[in-house]
Structure 1
Amino acid sequence: MAQLGGAVVCGTNLCLGAEHAFDPNKIAILNDTHIGGAHPANAPIPTHLRDTVAWLLRQDRYPAAVIINGDLALSDGRPADYKHLTRLVEPLHQAGIPIHLTLGNHDDRDVFYKVLKEEKRPDATVVSRHVGMVSLPLANLFLLDSLKAPMVAQGLLGAEQLAWLGRMLDEHFDKPALILAHHNPRLGDDEKHFPGGLEDTEALWNLLASRTHVKAYIHGHIHHRDYSQHRGIHIVNTPATSFVLRPEVSTTGWTMAQLTENGAEFMTLTHLRDHPWDGAVRKLEWRSA
């Protein structure tokens, strides 16, 4: 698996792998995979992830990055959960597609590092958190760790991580910046989910809004899909890969983000092929610098 803390740099037109072309400005976003070590192979949750991986491998051009944005594990982050997840995404690794992982409230950071030893960087700049940056031609992606504690619904970034993010954003102001973390901010239109969201939302948003190259905040956690804005920054809630609690209003799937010069196109793909969300595209324009 690709190390989260490393940077992936692609040329402006194509990234050429050993046998396959990559789109340097396309990102696959998954979240809430909730893989359990005891899940049978044919259970719905691992089947959804397996089907998503198979779809990605059928594309003419691979994405430059696959990001699994938190709640990797089923409940409380057991070793077998991460081992099962690793097996399910191994075909992406074999195809040379970079995989980047963030952590959510159903993960356990210590267990995660014990199983996925390559994810723990000896030169980590934020020792207490799992963070990183991915550099693409049309944007920099900043991957945050909003895990406050295993099985605690609310998220927290903390002062050390926010200070790191501020420094990184100031050092990398030449491109649009997209922020990815598992937890929803306590902002936007979905007030019902504010209590389980990011506790230090205000501090984060003051940091982001003052840096006009920050264009979007992308999260999961809610097991739904919607779009909103706050202080010029797009808030993108991407669907869960694993399951939904209210299938009458939501469904499982993943998101393909195509970066453009002035924004991005977010396409939702669903496991239910006849779902209204499947293939739906939302075009977002970035705020001016």
Structure 2
Amino acid sequence: MGLRAGIDDEAKMMVCSPFKRPRDVLHKKADVLPIHLTTLNRRRFLQAAGASILLYGNNAPASEAVDSDLVYLLNDTHIGEKHPENSAVPTHLRQVVTELVNRPTKPACVLINGDLALKDGQPGDYRHFAKLIAPLQKAGVETHLTLGNHDHRNVFYEILKEQRPEMPPVKSRHIAVVETQHANFFLLDSLQKTMVTQGTIGTQQLEWLASALDGLQAKPAIIVAHHNPRLGGDPLHFPGGLIDSQELWNVIGPRKWVKAYIHGHIHDRSYAEHQGIHILNTPATSYVADPKKSTTGWTTAKLTPNGGTLTTYTTDAQHPWNGESKTLTWRTA
């Protein structure tokens, strides 16, 4: 199936972010896949399986400055324009940004998986968010963003103008592929409509995903989207999850090089599986509904050719989850 650029009728806008470092691009005609915060200005155009993919990331061997096996995972930052500088929500994001900036060895990339803004994606929310993550760009940390149900694509583009792609493969969605040494991360846009809890991928984005996956089979594929699927995991959270979960699994399930699906949205942490694909729910950076059951923080993924280890880091250093690791083995082809 070839990659098709078009407007997804289930979404009206699309996004991209300013501080990332693009590297590789799979290109066909005018279809190009965008990505987010970049500092490395190296790209090349490739073509595979008829899919047009703007492929970001540094696939070079590990150096003293970059741990090419390490990826940081954040989500649900919920930054508001009027958050006081020393209040908990911006402080939590600043905490992980400070850690990243001060690391002597930087990760391959940072993925911030949706709900960047506090409630409904106001301009001031994104200005505050951009200010908080600006040190990552300054430090040369490759950073990528997705959108969630509390984001607004048009407003995001208005504030982070550099992120609006010139030739998006799916015009109403913010999508990209990030390449690392041991896996390709496919960043999807599950924002159906701002302030609508449930998410969707949509037919055209699914068509693009199928083509993009078929063009990049040499490494494990990891899908990243804000919303939880209504498959595997706790059914308690299914009502607010991804409406077209089965349609997504119809694409990724038979493609055995797809190994995991990473999401946020729930403001909790859990590990599940469906058809051999790991479903990884990573903690929110901002806040939780019940501190007795969950907590805030971020996750690191240390990848290998056959799996990886997820480690939780909590904003409260004394929390029992802090430093806990979960080792995953990828399903076989």
Gaps of 5+ in 2: 1-18, 21-34, 37-53
After the TM superposition, which residues 96-245 of structure 1 pair with which residues of structure 2 at under 5 Å, given as runs? Answer: 96-245=140-289
Corresponding position of 2:50: none
Superposed displacement of residue 189, structure 1: 2.6
Cα deviation 1:21-62 (Å, max 9, x = unaligned)? 111121101000000011110111000000111112232311
Corresponding position of 1:37: 81
| 2:262 alignment partner AA | I
Corresponding position of 1:8: 57
Superposed displacement of residue 166, structure 1: 0.5
Cα deviation 1:181-210 (Å, max 9, x = unaligned)? 000000113110000000000000111011
2:125 pairs with 1:76: no
Superposed displacement of residue 11, structure 1: 1.5
Gaps of 5+ in 1: none
Cα deviation 1:99-123 (Å, max 9, x = unaligned)? 1000000000111111111111102
Equivalents in 2 of 1:76, 1:13: separation in Å?
40
C-alpha contact (below 8 Å) 2:233/2:279 kept by paired residues:
no
C-alpha contact (below 8 Å) 2:262/2:282 kept by paired residues:
yes
Equivalents in 2 of 1:124, 1:32: separation in Å?
25
What is the SS of the residue equivalent to 1:194?
Answer: helix
Equivalents in 2 of 1:53, 1:9: separation in Å?
20
Give the structure-1-normalised TM-score: 0.96
Of all paired residues, the percent bearing the same amino acid is: 52
Corresponding position of 2:104: 60
| 1:134 alignment partner AA | V
Equivalents in 2 of 1:115, 1:6: separation in Å?
24
Task: Point out the more displaced range, 97-106 or 57-66.
Answer: 57-66
| Residue correspondences, number | 284
Equivalents in 2 of 1:277, 1:240: separation in Å?
13
C-alpha contact (below 8 Å) 2:55/2:179 kept by paired residues:
no
Cα deviation 1:215-257 (Å, max 9, x = unaligned)? 0000000000010100000000000000000100100000000
Q: CA RMSD in A?
A: 1.0
Corresponding position of 1:256: 300
Corresponding position of 2:313: 269
Equivalents in 2 of 1:111, 1:163: separation in Å?
26
Give the structure-2-normalised TM-score: 0.84
What is the SS of the residue equivalent to 2:94?
Answer: helix
| 1:84 alignment partner AA | H
